[in-house]
Chains A and B, each alone.
Chain A
Amino acid sequence: MRSGRRALAGVVLLLASACSPLEPSQPDVSAWQTAVAVAVEDMVSQLSTAQIVLREQAEGDFIGKAATVVLVEAEDAAGTASDDLTTLQPPPGVRKQQAAFTALLEEAAGLVTEARVAVVDDDVTSYETLRTQLQDVKERILAQRGDLR
């Protein structure tokens, strides 16, 4: 799990931070682009997961609380992806792009949360709209990433 890998990386960073001043990570442009790519990939994965869950839940394909559990996990991972980018110190020259990505990922994470709320509330009527919104934000994120290349 990406968040798990980040936890592992977090332990390493924690140890490293003991030897360095408390500062946000300041990647160069190349490292920033890599961080954005990872965050985007994670977010797209969670958006797609939420779309599949909504579609299958509408058809009654889950048992017990499985749909909710999968969405809660997607929500956690989406929040982590968004936070990882938000807390990154952007290198000079990419601050505008950083702001655009941050806003998009926050919107995306919010939509995954909305999907989870809808499933817990059993609000089946909202599933189709949410799936469309999830698809829309996913396409915008991918388009934004395309501009980066």
Chain B
Amino acid sequence: MKRIFAVALGILTAIGGFVDIGDLVTNAQVGARFGLSLGWVVILGVIGICVFAEMSGRVAAVSGRATFDLVRERLGPRMAMLNLVGSLGVTMLTFMAEIGGVALALALVTSVNHVLIVPFIAILVWAVLWRAKFTVLENVLGLLGLALIVFTVALWQLGPDWGALTNQLVTVGKPAEETWLTWCYYGVALFGAAMTPYEVFFFSSGGVEEGWTEKSLSVMRANVLIGFPLGGLLSLSIAASAWLVLGPAGVSVGTLGQVALPVVVALGKIGLAVAIVGFVAATFGAACETGLSAGYSLAQYFGWQWGKFVKVAEAARFHLVLVLCTILAIGVLITNVDPIMVTEVSVVFSAVALPLTYFPILVVANDPDYMGRHVNGKLSNGLGLVYLVVVLVAAIAAIPLMVLTGMGTA
């Protein structure tokens, strides 16, 4: 019974924790402009994150060490430094975007300028990272994030032509007024939003925090292989409801308020209240995860004691990194930079940094010295290699597409 509860809880938190500010904004933007014609990218991204999260979770469970912990040892300091710089930069951008996202969600109901809310949210995130237990943090925020199911309910309530939506999803096409270049740009952005680098750092380090062993593999796999795809359905619901409500009106999504409009139209006041709870939980949860990921990657690279499973004094440098990241995020966000723009930039640079994150995971998961009998099988390797090619293509195309399309405005 306890095991069933653990699996169920893990799956629910994986669903609730899947969506972050990048998924919210990018799916709504893409949905409003392209409908579900880029939905296949979400599916591709979800399968990819399942493949790599399973690998990194397996590495953590079998070796008792997080992925980044092994990167330096296995690939050497230079390669690991390149990995560190790339992934830490993107993780910091995402951290700022998430804190800004919480502030925007709260600004929506309070009408207080989000810049004034940012310092309080950032300090609250830091306080939670400092004091809250890892499992409480993961479970409470993950479960509250399930409130975003309101987008699926809204989609149902809007009564779409399911056949037309399915047709959009399974055929390669775009609205006549859009260019293929813009279509490709948003495809890469969606892919970057679905496969954010911090997710695997957090997942593998979280596995070590929770003391995973080989016995935990089945629960971990259930969380990944059931929870993440269901989380992906939330992303598709956001895109589809944006297409139905915002697409015909010609609304191009640029604010969190516009992301929520389909729910307002379909479900009114209660729907909006639930959506805002979901926004806050999803972005606050992701802010905690990205903050921790920044600390994990730095501490693991330099060989410092890390994690919330040890006393604060024992992992002082890890906690100092969390403080510095929080200060940096506040410093950037109070310049009145638009958190939505930070989000847009972060998902594109996520795509750029993807190979740096996923190549080492593939290498370590293939190493029998670390993995023993749990080394990658043919299926894992086949999928891993296919995805390595996909992430390389996305990484190479991301910046040229961003420039050529003026970040999707062309």
**Which of A19-27, A55-63, A95-103, A107-115 forms part of the interface with chain B?**
A55-63
| A45 CB contacts on chain B under 8 angstroms | 250-252, 254
A14 within 8 A of partner (CB): no
Q: How far is the CB of A116 from chain B (nearest CB, A)?
A: 12
Give per-residue flags for A26-63: 1 if the beta carbon is below 8 A from chain B beta carbons, else 0: 00000000100010011011001101110010011111
> Bound complex: CA of A143 vs CA of B341, how far in Å?
31
* Secondary structure call for the A interface: helix
B407 within 8 A of partner (CB): yes
Find out whether the CB atom of A63 lies under 8 angstroms from the CB atom of B251.
Answer: no
B313 within 8 A of partner (CB): no
Give per-residue flags for B331-361: 1 if the beta carbon is below 8 A from chain A beta carbons, else 0: 0000001101100110000000000000000
Give the number of chain A interface residues (Cβ < 8 Å). Answer: 34
Find out whether the CB atom of A7 lies under 8 angstroms from the CB atom of B338.
Answer: yes
Set A2, A59, A60, A62: member contacting B254, Cβ < 8 A: A2
- Interface size grouping (class) on chain B: 20 to 34
Q: How far is the CB of B338 from chain A (nearest CB, A)?
A: 4
Find out whether the CB atom of B268 lies under 8 angstroms from the CB atom of A70.
Answer: no
Tally the A-B contacts, defined by beta carbons under 8 Å: 107
Instruction: Say yes or no: A64-B264 contact (C-beta < 8 A), given A1-B254, A5-B406, A48-B251.
Output: no
> Bound complex: CA of A22 vs CA of B109, how far in Å?
42
Question: Chain A interface (Cβ within 8 Å of chain B)?
Answer: 1-5, 7-9, 34, 38, 41-42, 44-45, 48-49, 51-53, 56, 59-66, 68-70, 72-73, 77
Question: Chain B interface (Cβ within 8 Å of chain A)?
Answer: 107-111, 245-246, 249-252, 254-255, 257-258, 260-261, 264-265, 268-269, 272-273, 276, 337-338, 340-341, 344-345, 406-407, 409-410
**4 tightest CB-CB pairs across the interface, nearest first?**
A4-B341, A1-B254, A4-B338, A65-B111
